[in-house]
């Protein structure tokens, strides 16, 4: 009987997270991507459907729903249809071990699996199969080449990714994601064993960016060279499933980076005056934008809004610490602040850096990230052993 209840609970949570990923992750991820690229290139991005173009992606989804499914000639139909499902499901499965915060007297995580980070790495590695078979099943030269390239890139960066996960597990002494966050109550892992923590975070972020095929590591999908790579032949909803999987994976990687190195849902542990200084800085920036000639540039508005938001959060923190009510903000708010900061960072990179060449990309992984990651682990191990 209790098993039945648990299965129902699991189904409910799965539907909830899938909806979250489809709506916030994929639909509004695309919207955010378009808006941010617009701001960076001094244009507006989507503006016409709904206020600030907010309904644009909903319109796009409805459009995708009515698109015909075209299966290319002599393609392997079964494998062709299975590949996007593999990618989407692997993206969803990553989220089982991601803790969103605490509340109602428990951790807000689907399951706190004992071997959480191993599980995460395993699920992330399943995506490669979907991509490789999508490229093969399309019966298209570009798709096959893109699939092979994409797969060789993803497997190259899986090891540095695992080394980043391992570093955090090593410091925390546990493989569970909740345990890793709890171990950061004394301070973020980013600043542990300086500067090795920073190095590990950098490794992880670079590997995660490459793992989700984003600029500057997006050459498998290079629109301008390989016509979108492995999903060149996919139309309509099957294409959307690839997008869903990719955005789910990107959000999962950002969430994982926040959990491993930025303390997950924990509130930053800073004295009151630091918050005050940060708040004043944000206010000064907002005032500068508002009252200078910059005000005329309408595109600066989002920055103004962000600065005001930052100032409000800092003000709340100062007030909260003054009243002795810590933690001031709910844990889930902190988690999403960190998550979206990292997502924004990834999108920012996309419009800032050029694409690497294939040989540069592979060299970076095998000749820089892998040896550095291994030495980082050994050095940290040495320091921790000596410290005892």
Partner 1 sequence: MPKVVLDWLYVGVFAVVGVVLAVVPLVVVWLLAPRLSLPQKRLTYESGVVPFGQAWAQFNVRYYLFALVFVVFDVEVIYLYPWAIVFRQLGAFAFYEMVIFLGILLVGLAYAWRKGALEWV
Partner 2 sequence: MGELAAFIVLSLVILIPAVIVVTSRNIVRSALSLVPTFLGVTGFYIMLQAEFVAGIQVLIYAGAITVLILFVIMLTEGGSGVDVRQMNEQVPLGATAALWLAFLILVVLFRTQWPAASGQPPAYNAATIGSAFLSSYVLIFEVTSLVLLLSLIGAIVIARREE
Binding site for partner 2 (CB under 8 A): 3, 76, 78-79, 82, 113-115, 118-119, 121-123, 125-126, 128-129, 132-133, 136, 144, 148, 151, 155, 158, 175
Q: Which is nearer to partner 1, 15 or 319 (CB)?
A: 15
The DSSP code for 185 is G
143 binds, among partner 2, partner 1, none (CB under 5 to 8 A by kind): partner 1
Length of the chain: 388
76 binds, among partner 1, partner 2, none (CB under 5 to 8 A by kind): partner 2
Q: How far is the CB of 261 from partner 1 (least distance, A)?
A: 16
What is the Cα–Cα distance from 57 to 35, expressed in whole angstroms? 12
129 binds, among partner 1, partner 2, none (CB under 5 to 8 A by kind): partner 2
Q: Which is nearer to partner 2, 6 or 19 (CB)?
A: 6
Q: Which is nearer to partner 2, 144 or 318 (CB)?
A: 144
Helix (H, G, I), strand (E, B) or coil at 363: helix
Q: How far is the CB of 153 from partner 2 (least distance, A)?
A: 12
69 binds, among partner 2, partner 1, none (CB under 5 to 8 A by kind): partner 1
Q: How far is the CB of 342 from partner 2 (least distance, A)?
A: 24
Q: Which is nearer to partner 1, 206 or 318 (CB)?
A: 206
371 binds, among partner 2, partner 1, none (CB under 5 to 8 A by kind): partner 1
What is the Cα–Cα distance from 299 to 336, expressed in whole angstroms? 24
In angstroms, how far is the first alpha carbon of the chain from the final one? Answer: 49
Q: Give the contacts of 12 (CB within 8 A, at least 6 positions apart).
A: none
CB 273 within 8 A of CB 189: no
Closest CA to 91 of 60, 54, 130: 130
Q: How far is the CB of 170 from partner 1 (least distance, A)?
A: 4
Q: Is 87 exposed, middle or buried (0-12, 13-18, 19+ CB in 10 A)?
A: buried
Q: Which is nearer to partner 2, 35 or 149 (CB)?
A: 149
Q: Which is nearer to partner 1, 184 or 328 (CB)?
A: 184
Q: How far is the CB of 75 from partner 1 (least distance, A)?
A: 8
Tokens of 340: 């979206």
306 binds, among partner 2, partner 1, none (CB under 5 to 8 A by kind): none
Q: Give the contacts of 61 (CB within 8 A, at least 6 positions apart).
A: 27, 240
CB 189 within 8 A of CB 260: yes
Maximum CA extent, the chain: 70
């Amino acid at each position: 009987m209790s098993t039945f209840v648990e299965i129902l609970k699991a189904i409910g949570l799965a539907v909830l997270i899938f909806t979250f990923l489809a709506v916030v992750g994929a639909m509004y991820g695309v919207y955010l991507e378009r808006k941010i690229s617009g701001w960076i290139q001094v244009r507006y991005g989507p503006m016409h459907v709904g206020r600030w173009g907010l309904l644009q992606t909903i319109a796009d989804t409805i459009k995708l729903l009515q698109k015909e499914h075209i299966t290319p000639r002599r393609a392997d139909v079964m494998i062709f249809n299975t590949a996007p499902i593999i990618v989407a499901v692997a993206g969803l499965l990553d989220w089982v071990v991601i803790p969103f915060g605490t509340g109602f007297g428990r951790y807000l995580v689907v399951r706190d699996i004992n071997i959480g980070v191993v599980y995460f790495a395993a699920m992330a590695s399943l995506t490669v199969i979907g991509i490789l078979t999508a490229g093969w099943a399309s019966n298209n030269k570009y798709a096959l080449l893109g699939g092979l390239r994409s797969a060789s890139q993803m497997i190259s960066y899986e090891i540095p990714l695992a080394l980043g996960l391992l570093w955090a597990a090593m410091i925390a002494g546990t493989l569970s994601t909740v345990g890793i966050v709890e171990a950061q109550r004394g301070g973020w892992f980013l600043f542990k064993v300086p500067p090795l923590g920073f190095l590990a975070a950098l490794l992880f972020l670079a590997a995660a960016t490459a793992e989700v095929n984003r600029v500057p590591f997006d050459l498998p999908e290079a629109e301008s060279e390989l016509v979108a790579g492995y999903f060149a032949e996919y139309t309509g909803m099957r294409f959307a499933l690839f997008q869903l999987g990719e955005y789910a994976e990107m959000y999962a990687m950002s969430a994982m980076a926040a959990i491993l190195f930025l303390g997950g849902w924990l509130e930053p542990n800073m004295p009151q005056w630091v918050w005050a200084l940060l708040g004043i800085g944000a206010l000064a920036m907002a005032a500068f934008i508002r009252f200078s000639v910059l005000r005329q540039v309408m595109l600066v508005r989002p920055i103004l809004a962000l600065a005001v938001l930052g100032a409000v959060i800092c003000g709340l923190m100062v007030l909260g610490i003054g009243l002795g009510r810590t933690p001031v903000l709910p844990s889930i708010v902190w988690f999403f602040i960190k998550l979206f900061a990292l997502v924004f960072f990834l999108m920012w990179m996309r419009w800032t850096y050029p694409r690497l060449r294939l040989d540069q990309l592979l060299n970076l992984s095998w000749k820089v990230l892998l040896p550095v990651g291994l030495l980082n682990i050994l050095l940290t191990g040495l320091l921790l052993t000596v410290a005892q």
